[in-house]
Structure 1
Amino acid sequence: MSNAPASRAILPEGWPVPRGYANGMVAEGRVLVTGGLVGWDANGVFAEGLLPQLRQTLINIKAVVEAGGGRVEDIVRLTWYVTDIADYRASLKEMGPIYRETLGRHFPAMAVVQVVALVEPQALVEIEATAVIAG
């Protein structure tokens, strides 16, 4: 596996630098797409609360990407689905350290969408990831 990055962030001229995400990504390589991953462990046990579920969800994303031969830096897109956007917004300050401890300082293109419910009744967040793996 090459250490050269398969992707780079895109920032249109004159746009402000985004904080915690990229406006767009350019990538070349093999595409890995996850399903919607939630905040449960390998035994199907959910963490309690949004922040613990977020941590576990990001750990799960990292595990799937690595199992597919990729690295965190290969992730080009994350789509977050949350059941409570107000809780999400109120937790932004605490989310930063959780994100960085699991995915580092790699910030791909992201979207956050509030949904009425998720398939797993205990899930407060579900995230889909797309990675492009070099070579």
Structure 2
Amino acid sequence: MTHEIIHPEGWLPAKGYANGVLAKDGTLHIGGQIGWDGTKQFVGGGFVGQMRQALKNIAAIVEAAGGQVSDVARLTWFVTDKSVYLAHQAEVGAAYREVFGKHFPAMSMVVVADLIEDEALVEIEATAHIG
């Protein structure tokens, strides 16, 4: 097998996608994570709460693959409202550091018209290198 599906223990099954795919070379591709927990229940706290949860989900997937958040090399953010992000930058920074500390991988942010899950305000995908 050239890759392994990564799915944190206790999470509900991913249907039609994988949360993480670990390639033989140690590259971990993490599918877009939104502001719901492992039971697919959205957390409170609006944009910042959802962003924090999406980052926690990424951390859980990296850890399930045997890594840590410092192994994340890239984050791509998809946000539905640029003004909400800009209005909450201080809280965004604090929530980010709560999960990723002072680790800042390469990042891009894209403003999108909508996300597949109606309640989702942000989706973040990642690439990490394990080992």
The TM-score bracket by the shorter chain reads: 0.7 to 0.9
For the pair shown, the structure with the greater C-alpha radius of gyration is: 1
Deviation at 1:62, TM superposition (A): 0.2
Q: Following TM superposition, where does structure 1 have runs of at least 4 consecutive aligned residues deviating by more than 4 angstroms?
A: none
Choose from 80, 88, 91 the match for 2:88: 91
Higher relative contact order (CA 8 A, sep 6+): 1
Cα deviation digits, residues 71-117 of structure 1 (max 9, x gap): 10000000000000111111111111111111111000000100000
Q: Which amino acid aligns with 1:36?
A: G
Match of 1:47 in 2: 43
* TM-score normalised by the chain length of structure 2: 0.78
CA distance in 2 between counterparts of 1:86 and 1:47 reads 21
CA distance in 2 between counterparts of 1:112 and 1:60 reads 18
Over the residues paired in the alignment, what is the CA RMSD in angstroms? 0.9
Q: Which runs of 5+ in 1 are unaligned?
A: 1-28
Choose from 98, 101, 104 the match for 2:101: 104
Match of 1:32 in 2: 28
CA distance in 1 between counterparts of 2:92 and 2:39 reads 24
How many residue pairs get aligned? The number is 106
Deviation at 1:41, TM superposition (A): 1.0
Q: Which runs of 5+ in 2 are unaligned?
A: 1-24
Identity %: 53
Q: Does residue 58 of structure 1 match 2:49?
A: no
